[in-house]
Amino acid sequence: MRKEEACDISLGEWVSNPDGPYYTNASCSTIQEHQNCMKFGRPDTGFLKWRWKPQGCDLPIFDPLQFLEIMSGKKMAFVGDSVSRNHMQSLICLLSTVEEAVDVSEIPYWSQFKRYEFRKYKLSIAIFWSPYLVRTSQEDPADKNSESRPFNLFLDEPDPKWTQEIPGFDYLIISAGHWFFRPTMFYIQGRLAGCLYCPQSNITHLTSYFSYRRAFRTAFRAIIQQANFTGITFLRSFAPSHFENGYWDKGGDCVRQRPYRAEETRLEGYNMEHYRIQLEELKIAQRMGRGRGLKFRMMDVTRAMLMRPDGHPSKYGHWPKPNVTLISDCVHWCLPGPVDSWNDFLIELLRREEELGRVQSI
């Protein structure tokens, strides 16, 4: 076993990296406006000069050429919400330093589903929008006030928009998180089982933990039961937000300009509970998947990202508007920015899978 394989890359510190970043907002065309922090005048650049250093080993900086060679002829899909899309966009930006991605999406502008090809390497990368992972509906979704309307979550029914698409993919990167804090109605076997942040007094009021656990359990079982999927699933762990001095809609912001040290913060509260739920449901999926020869792996970025309050767009995801108060974004990540490190994690996990496959074939 290699030293790196014995090393838990989820534990460590952020250390100085004067060579970063490895692309710019001018060199990558897949950066969405609300993550283009330098375009909108972010004055500090120190948040671009850090890399993740695990305890007891090193985590190499992402090598785009090596990634393309490892993934040559393969298909990778991201499943989740806009933070999942944020990760995929980071990967596209890094790979585009070697080969420009070709957008082969049915809709050319940014939509909920995107596909890219790196044709020299016959690599396909897709994103499937499914912020709850399970089937959802919403009353009057076209209404201008739809943001405040609750979603109906059918917690025992996987979302067919992604489960029907995954056959043929070699790797899935599945994640979900911040949408589970929105007003929601919970259904199990077609019957209303409870709600989160609903005004009705005659409905059982439950927490986000209830829906989070059941959504991941349903998603993992849908993968296991998909007869035509034989790939590897990576669960990308929960990435905490960093609102300070108020909730997201009450003036909260994230203005810090450097990472925390490990001793300056700790995983607790709802961040810890959601992370724990992911670990528990992943272990269940791993046991169930063995019978079909399916692999479920953890891409554990939670502690690393807990320490990066400096990496969010804050108010630099848009131009200021006179006499208009705009909400600061402390959920998504600037591009380039700390989210690029997720691809350091990803390529290391892919290297380990390659080496494990070679050992098993001997």
Give catalytic residues, as residue numbers: 82, 329, 332
CA–CA separation, 205 and 185 (whole Å)? 9
Contacts of 209 (CB under 8 A, 6+ apart): 273, 274, 277
| 3-class SS letters over 282-327 | HHHHHHHHHHHCCEEEEECCHHHHHCCCCCCCECCCCCCCCCCCCC
CB 62 within 8 A of CB 94: yes
